[in-house]
Structure 1
Amino acid sequence: MPDAMDVDTETPSSMPGAFEIPKANGANGTDVDGDAEAPEPPPHKSNPASPVQDAPPTPEQAEAFKTLGNKYYKAKEYKKAIEEYTKAVEAQPSSATYLSNRAAAYISAGLYINALDDCTRADELDPNNEKILLRLARIYTNLGRAQEALDTYDRIQPPPSAKDTAPAKAMLQHISVAEDALKNGTTGSMALHALDQADKLLGLGAPKPRKWQLMRGEAYLKMGNVNALGDAQNVAMSLLRNNSQDPEALVLRGRALYSQGDNEKAIQHFRQAVNCDPDYRDAVKYLRMVQKLDRMKADGNTEYKAGHWDAAIEKYTEALEVDPLNRGTNSKLLQNRALCRVQLKDYKGAISDCERALSLDPTYTKAKKTKASALGQSGKWEEAVREFKELQEQEPQDAGIAKQLRNAELELKKSKRKDYYKILGVEKDADENQIKKAYRKAAIVHHPDKNPDDEDAEERFKDIGEAYECLSDPQKRARYDSGEDLMDPMEGFGGGGMGGGMQIDPEILMQMFGAQMGGGGRGGGGFHSFGGGMPGGRRGAAQGFPGGFQF
């Protein structure tokens, strides 16, 4: 419905006909009521010599103020127009027309709250004025109050055109979509899109409704990534600058801090929100939840420090159930639980926990380190090396990662040689008695005499002897564990075990006996008569060595 200029019913009959002022914004309905010509307004300052200087303006003078305001409005000098309309309103406070005209100027100047005040008063003075109602509905739309706009349109008879009501209806639809996305959606992106569409229908320069800002913050929290959480904080801070005691804004910022893992500051915000509004349920809920989570995490840490790995895992698992949606805290809980699993040699479980932690926080370096370490300790050194290399690319200044990478590369080399621990069936931290028992058992099971039809039995028996020869000797075992034998190119005798407790440096032997050494192969090569590292085996004189030379 066009909001065309009409003849002011309060205009004296002696006044000339009306003139039309174009809209500043067609969606706002900011045209005003006025006349093409009118008497010049009286001087703004009364003559001091005049005996009637304190006399109130007459209706004719009020009308003159309005007319001058119309001229300024048409020239888009809205500030001056507002000044003249204000004089008219002060002269005739009960004039709905003057209030409505000033509302139009306020709209064009982007002062929507002032416009709403004037238009509401005008509506009270003239409840059934179609033009005032139309302008009031458009102000509501500009301010993002779509339902109030539609309710106002419903009061207009005959009903306004579809074109008039379309912006408010579209705005309400976008907000409905955003609310549904926040309630039922899995991410906040759809809600943000709907809010962006609603924003476009606001008046130019109009403040975004507080409700919409809170919804936007909620959408950012729902997205949960680092940038989105920062955006949620920005929304909350914007609201708190307007009102530092806004409980909903305090809870919004507290939740953002909580999602970022800063539980201490989050608790402070929740407590402040409760102080502002003790009946605000969300503030109480989040305060209790974060306090409970912190308490359970602390209990898990206490058990971890005490070396009670199973008990720590139980505490961390319980803590993970408190708030399954919290990415920041849950990633740390999973990382802590993974460390416990590593201590229990549950490498598969540790790797799984690290992967879950990284799915919640892809930038979590500690979880990447723990995963790489667990991969290596589970025997997957190639994967461990790959993980550490990726970490080093991401953190080139971290000397600790460089050291871990070198160690993993060494362990990869070690993994490609004979695994003496695996041959004997013992763990790498097995003590001397465990190694001895394992050797005796394996030697009996795989002795060639007991496996006459097994062509590989002799080779296995030899490997068992080599393994025991190395692991039963503290110095050889230390060199084997540290990988020193891999770093020294001259270390290649007997597969890691020189028979009979040989302690002479191989390089010295080479200098002593030269070519008499025959071949320098591993057990069973040129030194086959050394005993092959098999304790209790035959110990003949080494070929080319003096009789009785004990290895």
Structure 2
Amino acid sequence: ELVFVLMVRIRLCLGEAESFKEQGNAYYAKKDYNEAYNYYTKAIDTCPNNASYYGNRAATLMMLGRFREALGDAQQSVRLDDSFVRGHLREGKCHLSLGNAMAASRCFQRVLELDHKNTQAQQELKNASTVLEYEKIAEVDFEKRDFRKVVFCMDRALEFAPACHRFKILKAECLALLGRYPEAQSVASDILRMDSTNADALYVRGLCLYYEDCIEKAVQFFVQALRMAPDHEKACLACRNAKALKAKKEDGNKAFKEGNYKLAYELYTEALGIDPNNIKTNAKLYCNRGTVNSKLRKLEEAIDDCTNAVKLDDTYIKAYLRRAQCYMDTEQYEDAVRDYEKVYQTEKTKEHKQLLKNAQVELKKSKRKDYYKILGVDKNASEDEIKKAYRKRALMHHPDRHSGASAEVQKEEEKKFKEVGEAFTILSDPKKKARYDSGQDLEEDGLNMGDFDANNIFKAFFGGPGGFSFEGRWKCSPAGFGNVSTQIAWEAGGVCQGMCWWRRVLGFAT
């Protein structure tokens, strides 16, 4: 009688469990996986030794993306019934989705042992092999620092293993190393929302901050990762580098503020050697060192440092501004204009507009004749200094002084003589000089430098005797114009008194 009662209860339980299963199937068909999960759970609670109930709940959990829980149910189903093909398939699918392709392969091979014609197992086995192949390629490429290829491999692997945190972390780390920080942060943050203790995700989150020059915050994440996993080598190395980089940079800044430029240069150089992968921080260090070099008047070295800075970070406005100023100081105006244009296109401020305008003016001025250079005087030269310089240069390049030279030399000296006259015409007139210094086009102001006569300027300056013309030429022997024994005759009607006066002016013996 007792056995009969037990059998009745068992049958009632089985009937109730089957009822729960059927209701679960109905909700599963409607894609209401949460309700399906509830009814499959009731079926298991009613009859905990039925493999198919665990298999069904595993399938539901997979549809909900809860692969770790689904894996537990699938494994329980095949423990209860090792010949349960669907259970082995679902276990393999869970392993594969979680990134364990080796374990997945074993499950699919077991299916084929039970049913060698099972096409799903055959396809899934190929998928598992594909994932294993992508893993191997990614491992080799990571060592080669071919991070783009690693990201590609991980994207392909994640198509078959969408719940694999390991693949996602590797992808995120490579994205960070490629400078794609927002993408890397997004991946790491998604994992941390599901598992706030994931040391790898904490490390990647810190790595992104570290590479974005938020070093203090980065250290906090590295420390947290090391609390979760004290032996995390990457987090340990990154934490050490971050602290060292922060200290060196701060020491360099302090030395710079104190005016100790030599020490600042050394500290910035040491900081640059800590981590070549930290692009943004290194860009700032190069720019800082460039500023030090400019203070030391090592302008070419400063330009090189700023160039390295913009190579690392082509959006770094401060480096462009520093380099442009160095170009201005070294009179490389075209390069300065290019940098200021880049700055103004990025940040259209009044200050940047004025800097660009100033550089454009200097560039325009640089393409004109440099009258100060022609006369050999400073831009702040006085009126007397300009006159003395003209006297010296005009006598040096006067054509009559070189009448015995070759035709080529005579032509060159005539050109220089004319340029000296031009320079004196402009720089000796305060108004013309002011327009010239401001970068205005003198020809646009009505002054045609091709119309004046350099000989007339020479006569007016030296105040020579009247009645003779510069259109004539001294006739000299091959021995040279300055030789005392040379016989000189004036071809164009000059009088003896005039001839002797010009000999004195041009510096020859009388």
Same fold? TM cut 0.5 = yes
Aligned partner (choices 364, 371, 374) of residue 413 of structure 1? 364
Please say which of residues 179-188 and 280-289 is displaced more in the overlay.
179-188
> Aligned partners of 2:364, 2:466: CA distance in 1, in Å?
31
Deviation per CA, 1:495-521: give whole Å up to 9, x if none: 9xxxxxxxxxxxxxxxxxxxxxxx995
Give the match for residue 73 of structure 2. Answer: 118
Give the structure 2 partner of residue 62 of structure 1.
13
Assess if the C-alpha contact under 8 Å between 1:140 and 1:146 holds in 2: yes
Counterpart amino acid of residue 386 in structure 1: R
1:184-199 aligned within 5 A:
184-188=144-148, 190-199=149-158
What does 1:529-540 correspond to in 2, within 5 Å? 529-531=459-461, 538=462
- CA–CA separation in structure 2 for the residues paired with 1:132 and 1:123: 6
Which of residues 150, 154, 173 is equivalent to 1:218?
Answer: 173
Corresponding letter in the other structure for 1:218: E
> CA offset at residue 219 of structure 1?
2.0
How far, CA to CA, are the matches of 1:74 and 1:243 in structure 2? 31
Of 112, 130, 137 in structure 2, the residue corresponding to residue 177 of structure 1 is: 137
| CA deviation after TM superposition for structure 1 residue 81, in Å | 4.5
* Equivalent residues in 2 for 1:271-310, closer than 5 Å: 271-310=223-262
1:166 paired to 2:117: no
Q: How does 1:6-155 map to 2 (within 5 A)?
A: 58-72=9-23, 74-75=25-26, 76-77=29-30, 78-108=33-63, 110-127=65-82, 129-155=84-110
C-alpha change, 1:542 and 1:271, in structure 2 (3 Å) is farther
Task: Write the letter of the residue equivalent to 1:330.
Answer: N
Give me the whole-angstrom Cα distance separating, in 2, the residues matched to 1:108 and 1:242: 17
CA 541–178 in structure 1, closer or farther in 2 if over 3 Å, else same? farther
3-state secondary structure, aligned to 1:208? coil
Matched letter for residue 414 of structure 1: K
Q: Give the Cα separation in 2 of the matches to 1:399 and 1:139.
A: 61
1:62 and 1:87 in contact (8 A); partners too: no
CA contact (8 A) 2:327 2:333 kept: yes
CA contact (8 A) 1:73 1:105 kept: no
1:200 aligns with 2:151: no
TM-score (norm 2): 0.71
Q: Aligned equivalents of 1:461 and 1:302: distance in 2?
A: 55
Q: Distance in 2 between matches of 1:431 and 1:250?
A: 66
- How has the CA–CA distance of structure 1 residues 364 and 542 changed in structure 2, closer, same or farther, with 3 Å as cutoff? farther
State the distance in 2 between where 1:444 and 1:136 align: 100
Aligned-residue offset at 1:380: 2.7
Q: 1:355 aligns with which of 303, 307, 317?
A: 307
Q: Residues of 2 paired with 1:302 and 1:462: CA distance? A: 56
Change (3 A) 1:235 1:330: same
- Residue 399 of structure 1 and its aligned partner are, at CA, apart by 1.4
Structure 1 contact 134–153 (Cα < 8 Å) conserved: yes
Equivalent residue runs for 1:332-481 within 5 Å: 332-396=284-348, 398-419=349-370, 422=373, 453=405, 455=410, 456=412
**Aligned equivalents of 2:374, 2:252: Cα separation in 1:** 38
Deviation at 1:439, TM superposition (A): 7.6
Change (3 A) 1:444 1:489: closer
Specify the SS of the correspondent of 1:362. Answer: coil
Map residues 479-498 of structure 1 onto 2, 5 A cutoff. Answer: 483-484=437-438, 486=440
The Cα shift of 1:146 comes to 2.1
Structure 1: state its 5+ residue gaps.
1-51, 496-518, 532-537, 544-551
1:201 counterpart letter in structure 2? F
Instruction: Map 1:250-329 onto structure 2 (within 5 A).
Output: 250-329=202-281
Counterpart residue type for residue 484 of structure 1: S
SS at structure 2 position matched to 1:255: helix
Pick closer, same or farther for the CA change 1:342–1:177 going to 2, 3 Å.
same
Q: Structure 1 stretch 365-374 or stretch 82-91: which is displaced more? A: 82-91
The CA deviation at 1:183 is 2.9
Q: Distance in 2 between matches of 1:391 and 1:402?
A: 9
Greater displacement, 163-172 / 211-220 = 163-172
Q: Are the equivalent residues in 2 in contact too, given 1:355–1:371 (CA < 8 A)? A: yes
- Shift in Å, 1:412: 1.7
Which has the higher mean CA deviation after the structures are superposed, 124-133 or 161-170?
124-133
SS at match of 1:297: helix
In structure 1, how many angstroms separate the alpha carbons of the residues matched to 2:465 and 2:217?
Answer: 78
Which string of whole-angstrom CA distances, capped at 9 and with x for unpartnered residues, describes residues 11-42 of structure 1? Answer: xxxxxxxxxxxxxxxxxxxxxxxxxxxxxxxx
TM normalised by structure 1 equals: 0.66
Give the Cα–Cα distance (whole angstroms) in 2 for the partners of residues 425 and 292 of structure 1.
Answer: 53
Contact 1:382-1:412 at 8 Å conserved across structures: yes
What is the CA–CA distance in structure 1 between the aligned matches of 2:425 and 2:284, rounded to whole Å?
44
Q: How many residues align?
A: 444
Whole-angstrom distance in 2 between the partners of 1:265 and 1:542: 87
Residues 1:241 and 2:193 aligned together: yes
Distance 2:451 2:104 in 1: 97
The CA deviation at 1:330 is 1.4
- Could you tell me whether the CA contact under 8 Å between 2:374 and 2:423 is conserved in 1? yes
The residue that corresponds to 1:499 in the other structure is: none
Cα deviation 1:502-545 (Å, max 9, x = unaligned): xxxxxxxxxxxxxxxxx995x936543453xxxxxx466999xx
SS at the partner of 2:49? coil
Higher helix residue share: 2
Note the alpha carbon deviations across 1:124-143, whole angstroms, 9 max, x for none. Answer: 33456554323321232234
Query: Does structure 1 conserve the Cα–Cα contact (< 8 Å) formed by 2:299 and 2:326?
Result: yes
Change in CA separation of 1:444 and 1:341 when aligned onto 2, cut-off 3 Å = farther
Q: Distance in 2 between matches of 1:542 and 1:61?
A: 142
Deviations 1:283-317 (A, max 9, x none): 22112212222222233334444555554433333
TM-superposed deviation, 1:417? 3.6
Q: CA deviation at 1:92?
A: 2.9
Q: What corresponds to 2:454 in structure 1?
A: 524
C-alpha RMSD of the superposition: 4.5
Q: Which moved more, 1:452-461 or 1:178-187?
A: 452-461
Structure 1 residue aligned with 2:283, among 328, 331, 340? 331
CA distance in 2, matches of 1:358, 1:427: 35
Change in CA separation of 1:108 and 1:243 when aligned onto 2, cut-off 3 Å: closer
> Runs of 5+ in structure 2 lacking a partner?
468-510
What per-residue deviation string (whole Å, max 9, x for no partner) do you get for residues 108-139 of structure 1? 55543332222222333345655432332123
Q: Percent identity?
A: 30
Query: In terms of mean alpha carbon deviation, does 78-87 or 364-373 score higher?
Result: 78-87
Distance 1:329 1:426, change over 3 A: farther
Secondary structure in 2 aligned to 1:93?
Answer: coil
Distance 1:243 1:82 in 2: 23
Kindly indicate whether the alpha-carbon contact (under 8 Å) linking 1:247 and 1:276 is maintained by their aligned counterparts in 2.
yes
Query: After the TM superposition, which of the residue ranges 143-152 and 107-116 deviates more from structure 2?
Result: 107-116
Helix, strand or coil at the partner of 1:200: helix
